[in-house]
Amino acid sequence: MVTGAGPRIVADETRCVGAGQCVLTAPDLFDQSEDEGTVLVLDDRPGEDVLEAVREAVHICPSGALSLREPRELREPREPRDS
């Protein structure tokens, strides 16, 4: 697995219900804590080779606890506001 500088996986452990769908979809990137059963992100900067599995895990998460955030340098520059 190649770690990339692309999107970052963000997990909200307070929203996680411990369904484990992320672990089943991408076991190299996700695990569950032994105490709470909530999501653990093993690599928050996945390589291009696993992005499709990450997107699937984000999509099927029943609680919406997972998201992908683009790095700032990939975002569109904001237009200056008129005063």
Query: How confident is the model over 7-21, as pLDDT tens digits?
Result: 999 999 999 999 999
Whether 33 has a pLDDT exceeding 60, the answer reads yes
Answer yes or no: are the C-beta atoms of 47 and 1 closer than 8 Å. Answer: yes
Q: In this predicted model, what pLDDT tens digit does every residue of 54-82 receive, in sequence order?
A: 999 999 999 999 999 987 644 555 566 66
Residue 48 has pLDDT above 80, yes or no: yes
Q: Are 23 and 32 in contact (CB under 8 A)?
A: yes
pTM of the predicted model as reported, rounded to 2 decimal places: 0.77
Q: Which helix (H) or strand (E) holds 9?
A: strand 8-11
Q: Give the model's pLDDT for residue 78.
A: 57
Q: What are phi and psi of 20, to 5 degrees?
A: 80, 10
